[in-house]
Amino acid sequence: MIQENKKNSGTWKKDLRLYIHVPFCIRKCEYCDFLSGPANEKNIKAYFEALYKEIRSYKDRARDYSVSSVFIGGGTPSCVDSDYITNTLKELGEAFDFNNDNKLEITIEVNPGTMQVTNGSDIDRDKLIAYKKAGINRLSFGLQSSHDHELRLLGRIHSYSEFKENYRIARELGFNNINIDLMSALPDQSIASWEETLISIAELNPEHISAYSLIIEEGTPFYDLYGPEGKSQDRLPSEDIDRLIYSRTKEILSAYGYRRYEISNYAKEGYESSHNKAYWEGVSYLGLGLGSSSYIENTRFKNTRLLDEYIEQINSNHNNIMSTYSSSKSHINEFLLDKFGIRRDIISLTKNQQIEEFMYLGLRKTEGVSKSDFLNRFGLSMDELYNDLLVSLSKDKLILIDDDKIKLTDYGIDISNRVLAEFLFE
Ligand code: SF4
């Protein structure tokens, strides 16, 4: 739970992570309930202009923090002109103090199919070159499957061969830290089909693989088909198959040299995502852009999810806000204030909620949680607080306890949702 970075200048600063939301996609996938959708160029431009203003508003009030990772996610950040991404990073660099110890991780989500070759110009290559020039050093490909029929079922716009071409170009341009997102438990998906996807991707040797199960979210076309009332519910894999998929995923990826470091995330040595780990370790992060979530100093909040409201609020308040900064002395308080009136669902976590999050998020990591960290943070002994629960989960072979660490066993990971819920107080 290290929350501080040491600056070269010798002053200590708090660790901060930044998430930038790009809420645009070429078209909506069948299972997706993320805050994303198609938009015209006029809306995209208005959105980014508001985003730049939001970023600029942190200049001078974020000086107690040092940024060690940035994640540009969505939506599909790669579906917009790369100038928007370049400018976003330029604005971030001017408003925030970036950690200068060479470990700064800057990731962008890229979707194959948003970087096609059009009008004779090689957009794939141009976009990737622009990202590299802007300082992006990690790509996260939203692939999901190596089978075109599964991609079509999910409503993805790309084919596997398009992905492979994008991946090849990324490697050629020198991107040496690449994640590939995969999705299991799809309707009609056999274990053999999932294994083929895993093996095809592992053969490409990316540094990181995220392997999530499909979740049927309310309000999506998939929910109507495969949800509790859906007529095709029986096309989803059973819970037993789902568990088998989890264990086969670990077996196959281990054989290719990947280590599972979180329930659904695998990496080659030294390539765990610093940004993702920060979420599970309770490090502060600031979300910028539509609907993005933040967690700062034990307070959670989200930006509004309404595009028009986000743009209007920022544009109507921007001039007033910027003129007050020069006279401001209280930078920490300024950082925590909702300058534009765009934050929603602001929750200051109680001590119990902080404890729940420490356990619930920390146990997602295969290294588990540390009893001494817990004691330092909350002034309580984990053994005393959770004694009966720890004994019973250990007896059921769901967790492993050693001197300082508690971690999920492989079986515990297979049914992690149930095990983690045990650490909630209510
Ligand atoms: S590309 Fe991603 S964010 Fe966009 S609709 Fe598909 S799943 Fe949702």
pLDDT in tens, 218-246: 999 999 999 999 999 999 999 888 889 98
Mean pLDDT score, 119-126? 62
Mean pLDDT score, 249-267? 97
Nearest CA to ligand 1 atom 5: 28
Cα–Cα distances in Å, from 109 out to 24, 75, 249, 272, 391? 12, 9, 23, 16, 41
Task: State residue 116's pLDDT score.
Answer: 52
Residue type (1 letter), 393: L
pLDDT-above-90 percentage for the chain: 82
Please work out whether the CB of residue 76 comes within 6 Å of at least one atom of ligand 1.
yes
**CB contact burial 275-307 (16+ within 10 A = b; e otherwise):** bbbbbbbbbbbbbbbbbbebbbeeeebbbbeeb
User: How far apart are the C-alpha atoms of 377 and 351, rounded to whole Å?
Assistant: 10
Please work out whether the CB of residue 412 comes within 6 Å of at least one atom of ligand 1.
no
Residue matched to tokens 């281990």: 254
Please work out whether the CB of residue 29 comes within 6 Å of at least one atom of ligand 1.
yes
Ligand 1 center–CA 66 separation, angstroms: 31
Ligand 1 center–CA 155 separation, angstroms: 9
Query: Does residue 252 surpass a pLDDT of 90?
Result: yes
Please work out whether the CB of residue 142 comes within 6 Å of at least one atom of ligand 1.
yes
Return the beta strands (E) in 249-340 as ranges.
259-262, 265-267, 284-288, 293-296, 299-303
* Peptide linkage before 10 cis (omega within 30 of 0): no
- For 344-402, what is each residue's pLDDT tens digit? 999 999 999 999 999 999 999 999 999 999 999 999 999 999 989 999 999 999 999 98
Q: Which residue has the higher pLDDT, 326 or 286?
A: 286
Would the CA dihedral through 257, 261, 263, 268 be positive or negative? Answer: negative
Please work out whether the CB of residue 75 comes within 6 Å of at least one atom of ligand 1.
yes
Axis crossing angle, helix 160-172 with helix 191-204, rounded to the nearest 10: 20
Ligand 1 center–CA 425 separation, angstroms: 34
Task: State residue 333's pLDDT score.
Answer: 61
> In terms of DSSP H, where are the helices of 155-260?
160-172, 191-204, 221-226, 239-255
* Domains of the chain in sequence order: 4-280 (3.20.20.70), 351-421 (1.10.10.920)
* Diameter over CA atoms, the chain: 67
Ligand 1 center–CA 27 separation, angstroms: 8
Q: Are 66 and 15 in contact (CB under 8 A)?
A: yes
Q: Are 78 and 115 in contact (CB under 8 A)?
A: yes
Please work out whether the CB of residue 36 comes within 6 Å of at least one atom of ligand 1.
yes
- For 142-170, what is each residue's pLDDT tens digit? 999 999 999 999 999 999 999 999 999 99
Ligand 1 pocket, mutate which of 28, 210, 216, 290 (most atoms under 8 A from CB): 28
Please work out whether the CB of residue 23 comes within 6 Å of at least one atom of ligand 1.
no
Please work out whether the CB of residue 74 comes within 6 Å of at least one atom of ligand 1.
yes
Closest ligand 1 atom to Cα of 33: 8
Please work out whether the CB of residue 214 comes within 6 Å of at least one atom of ligand 1.
no
Task: State residue 407's pLDDT score.
Answer: 97
pLDDT band at 123; cut points 50, 70, 90: low
Ligand 1 center–CA 29 separation, angstroms: 5
Residue 75: closest CA among 105, 48, 106? 48
Would the CA dihedral through 37, 39, 45, 49 be positive or negative? Answer: negative
pLDDT band at 90; cut points 50, 70, 90: very high
Please work out whether the CB of residue 32 comes within 6 Å of at least one atom of ligand 1.
yes
